[in-house]
Amino acid sequence: MAEIPPDTLLTPSTHHLAETSCKMNVPTLAELLEKWYGTSDSEAVAEQHEEDRCMLYPSMDNMVSMDKFPYYRAGCTDLPTVAEIEQAFRDRAAGLRSYPTQSDVHVCRLGKYVAKKCKSAMNIFIEANNLLFLEDYEVRTPKLFAAWAVGPEYYNDGYLVMEYIEGQQFTGQLLSELEPAAIKIIGRKFAEQIRLLRSIPNEGDEFYSTLNRKGFPPWNYFLSTHKSIVNGPYNSYKALIDAFCDTLELSTVMNTVMASAVMGASKGTKATFTHLDLKFENMIVRPIKSEDGATIEDWEVTLIDWHECAWLPEWTQFVAIQEKFARGWLYEEYEQHTNLLWDYFLEHFEETFPQEREFMHKCNKAGLSFLF
């Protein structure tokens, strides 16, 4: 049987990952094709795969509670209109030659507001729902002012208006220009936000879902088998890992990659509210200056882009951050500073799940996508 390269297999140091499941003999490619598509004929498989790709996503009600949308915060009388938002996008596009005018997502500032448009309103309502939920907790997030859609379901544009956060978008370039003392503070403040996020009470230590006990959208890379199916929620860690194995297996079929080991039982099974897209650019950092403005005494960190959040095992947050930070390690000029930030961040947690991170990084390198 075909196997994944040896360096991607579980080692003795990661034996606890496989205590209850998932180290398995992988069937042949033909057997997997028969299982998932009912045929091993490559042309028939490709046709079914294309049909699935073209299917409509499930109804919004299956993925987000729609009873609060459209949403408009009470007392806000100066919110930008659709026409004003669209004009702001056009003005920005005119000033930025590289601006992706055909992109599915547009973001721009309008005074004290930030407007976001997505060609699928589902993403807008998911992010808005997450922002409203987080208002009851101490995590620093932009305040939501409005979220609505224009057009019929499946063919609508979604708009979101939120608070503009003063500060600089965090980038590898900015990181490379900072002194170690500043990086240490930002690492601590970043860790503080993640600790607050991880302290939010869950709906059951082994209940995994998006908010309001909804399932995972079919575009979620690590829990996705068919475009028209909402996956979950899951009532146990075993059920979640079984679903993850199915996704890996189907990914294996489509990439003709064979795996002889996949994620098993972990020590970090507690359901924890998790931000899945914490790349540098989704952190806003603001220097806090002394009264005379002569020195920087502190830094403030705010997390943005909350459309990819869910109740997931507690190791997941560290995997997601590590794989996003990996972009900083790709560039020699950012590597040293990225290492500093990562070390300063990790030192604020008792458990950082190094074995899970190592294993999932190897899966990702082998082409078995997870979270990204």
83 domain residue, yes or no: yes
- Nearest CA to 318 out of 351, 292, 295 is that of 351
Q: Could you tell me if 124 and 222 lie in one domain?
A: no
The residues facing 158 across adjacent strands are 118, 149
Q: Tell me, yes or no, whether 115 and 172 share the same domain.
A: no
Per-residue model confidence as pLDDT tens digits over 256-285: 433 333 344 467 889 999 999 998 899 999
**Which whole number is the average pLDDT over 67-96?**
88
* 59 against 165, higher pLDDT: 165
212 found inside a domain: yes
For residue 184, tell me if it sits in a domain.
yes
User: What is the average per-residue pLDDT within 88-101?
Assistant: 60
Domain boundary among 164, 192, 213: 164
pLDDT tens, position by position, 199-250: 999 989 999 999 999 998 877 767 777 666 788 899 999 999 888 888 877 7
Task: Answer yes or no: is pLDDT of 100 > 70.
Answer: no
**Which amino acid is residue 357, in one-letter code?**
R
DSSP assignment of 134-190: HTTSS---PPEEEEEEESSTTS-EEEEEEEPPPSEE--HHHHHHS-HHHHHHHHHHH
The residue among 129, 164, 199 that closes a domain is 164
Is the domain of 77 the same as that of 131? yes
Contact 209, 185 (CB under 8 A): no
8 domain residue, yes or no: no
Question: Which residues make Cβ contacts (< 8 Å) with residue 70, sequence separation at least 6?
Answer: 146, 147, 148, 149
Is pLDDT of 113 > 80? yes
Q: How far apart are CA 241 and CA 91, in angstroms?
A: 47
Please, what is the Cα angle at 223 between 252 and 52, to 5 degrees? Answer: 70
* Whether pTM exceeds 0.75: yes
Query: Under 8 Å CB-to-CB from 246, ≥6 apart: which residues?
Result: 225
pLDDT of 246: 83
**Average pLDDT over all residues of the chain:** 81
Whether residue 245 sits in one domain with residue 210: yes
* Domain finish residue from 164, 180, 199: 164
In a domain, 7, yes or no: no
Judge whether 316 lies within some domain.
yes
- Residue 216 and residue 113 in one domain: no
User: How far is Cα 7 from Cα 143, in angstroms, rounded to an integer?
Assistant: 45
Does one domain contain both 81 and 208? no
Q: Within this chain, do residues 320 and 340 fall inside the same structural domain, yes or no?
A: yes
Domain that includes residue 88, residue range = 62-164
Please state the domain count of the chain: 2
Q: Which residue type, as a one-letter code, is found at position 174?
A: L
| 139 shares a domain with 263 | no
Q: Is pLDDT of 179 > 80?
A: yes
Pairing state of beta strands 168-169 and 309-313? unpaired
Q: Match 């500043």 to its residue by tokens.
A: 182
Asked whether residue 292 falls in the same domain as residue 337, the answer is yes
Q: By CB neighbour count within 10 A (0-12 exposed, 13-18 middle, 19+ buried), where does 316 fall?
A: buried
Whether residues 84 and 210 fall in one domain: no
- CA distance between the termini of the chain: 28
Q: What is the CATH number of the domain that holds 69?
A: 3.30.200.20
User: SS3 sequence, 314-369?
Assistant: CCHHHHHHHHHHHHHHCCHHHHHHHHHHHHHHHCCCCCCCHHHHHHHHHHHHCCCC
In which element (H, E) is residue 43 found?
helix 42-54
Residues forming a β-bridge with 211: none
CATH code of the domain in which 339 resides: 3.90.1200
Same domain for 273 and 309, yes or no, is yes
- Say yes or no to pLDDT of 13 above 50: no
193 and 326 inside one domain: yes
Residue 328's φ and ψ, nearest 5 degrees, are -65, -30
